[in-house]
Structure 1
């Protein structure tokens, strides 16, 4: 079975690029017109997001309930399933890509390879960031764009004022487009702020947000992978984001120097 693209979306991390890219061609004009005509509600975003994540769940290996990855994630985030008025659900994809994403329906998916290099504090910061994207409705914008592209690609009428039902092929295309999208730098910055506030409010170590971005900065150094370079070019600079966290932590009296940040050579289990 051909893998779907697990693209860089929320974090600014590595995504697989071995699936066939979707070519928009002349559909772009249709998408543009459709985006103006379409009345896209939160309910639409939730419905389409659930369809997309259901597709992704079927096409990726998911850690079982007794898997150490699942046990670790539940330990960290079990009490945050109703975070900030949101109804969230978490799963781990056992894949080699380093990423995490959230959907408008409250689905949060964390990749096992991300968990391998992040401490608990860093994972708390990462998923706090993902929750921020859901709370700020950034994911609504992303799924709307993905829906329009998927529908237009299959010659469906995206100029309709309401959301149409997609067939299986279109749902797959929508999932790919959704994961290959990127948020604006402003949205990323706002999600970073949400993550910091989430950490602070729950009395977690906010320095975890700093070290998480430092690790992402290390991952970006010297990369020759075109997809990797493209991703980091489209996201705010990880080092600058780390320094912004440090500055705020110092102001709040919460800064504790973590020392030199390095990428672990063995999987982190706790």
Structure 2
């Protein structure tokens, strides 16, 4: 109740504040704050689509005849929809070991990750990232990003509006979505989503474990001259690999 009263106070007095320096920024902060609290799945998907479009424009995307694109298309040919969500896949020709999925169904895989993973391992990692979307973790991440935007807008100029974010805001969202970090529980649930996806479709579930083991070997190091975002946002890879191995043995899928 106290928070609602405070917001109403600012909205009522906005005509007066608009004559003062920085009032527009304050109002935008209030709007962003309200939006982060009431964000729907459709809004999250729309914001994600805008952010990914901007990211696609500023990163080198493999063309349709590129060997990386052809390989990815072959890997995901059976999986153009997951959990009822239509998916679109692209490869970024960047040496970083990274991948992410967003609420609009965009899945982006980096060249550096494809260079070190088998086809099944790539499916396992993409399944994990898509699991964050299906489990609504991406929606929660978007809310956090908008809350930070609200804080920035208190003291910074912006022309973004609800439903029409500025280029700088979209850029911030894009960067955040590509490297979003999740709680330990969310990571575990995304691991389980990927495991169940592999099992349900007849793939070797151990691909999830071996992908984590490869990431563990890179942990603390560099790939392509850069410390990877993916590694910093996916900690405890060895522990998670062992958890998958234990579950596979329990399910009779590994020795």
TM-score, length basis structure 2: 0.78
1:115 alignment counterpart: 114
The alpha carbon displacement at 1:228 in A equals 4.6
- Equivalent pair of 1:217/1:239 in contact (CA under 8 Å): yes
Match of 1:4 in 2: none
- Tell me the residue number matched to 1:69: 68
Q: Which residue of 1 aligns with 2:240?
A: 241
In structure 2, the residue matched to 1:139 is 138
Aligned to 2:171: 172
Change (3 A) 1:99 1:105: same
Cα distance, 1:169 vs structure 2: 2.0
Could you tell me which residue of structure 1 aligns to residue 13 of structure 2? none
> CA RMSD for the aligned pairs?
2.9
Structure 1 residues 102 and 42 mapped into 2: Cα distance closer, same or farther (>3 Å)?
same
1:177-200 deviations in whole A, cap 9, x for unaligned? 333431111101000000000000
Q: Is the 8 A contact 1:38 1:163 kept in 2?
A: no
- Segments of structure 2 that go 5 or more residues without pairing to the other structure are 1-25
Matches within 5 A, 1:28-107: 34=33, 38-107=37-106
Q: How does 1:218-257 map to 2 (within 5 A)?
A: 218-221=217-220, 228=227, 235-255=234-254
CA contact (8 A) 1:70 1:91 kept: yes
CA distance in 2, matches of 1:41, 1:230: 28
Q: Could you say which residue in structure 2 is the equivalent of 1:188?
A: 187
8 Å CA contact retained: 1:151, 1:170: no
TM-score by length of 1: 0.74
Contact 1:151 1:166 in 2 (8 A): no
Aligned counterparts of 2:232 and 2:109: Cα–Cα separation in 1: 22
Give 1:254 deviation, angstroms: 1.1
Secondary structure class of the residue paired with 1:63: coil
Deviations 1:123-169 (A, max 9, x none): 11111111111110111111222233235424499xxxx94421122
Which stretch of structure 1 is more off in the superposition, 82-91 or 232-241?
Answer: 232-241
Q: Residues 214 and 152 (structure 1 numbering): CA distance in 2 closer, same or farther, change over 3 Å?
A: same
Which structure exhibits the higher relative contact order, with contacts defined as CA atoms closer than 8 Å and separated by 6 or more residues? 1
Contact 1:150 1:171 in 2 (8 A): no
Equivalenced residues, count: 222
Q: Deviations over 1:60-82 (max 9, x none)?
A: 00011111111111111022111
In structure 2, the CA distance between the partners of 1:254 and 1:44, relative to structure 1 (3 Å rule), is: same
Which is greater in Rg?
A: 2
Q: Report deviation, 1:39.
A: 1.0
Q: Give the Cα separation in 2 of the matches to 1:89 and 1:121.
A: 18
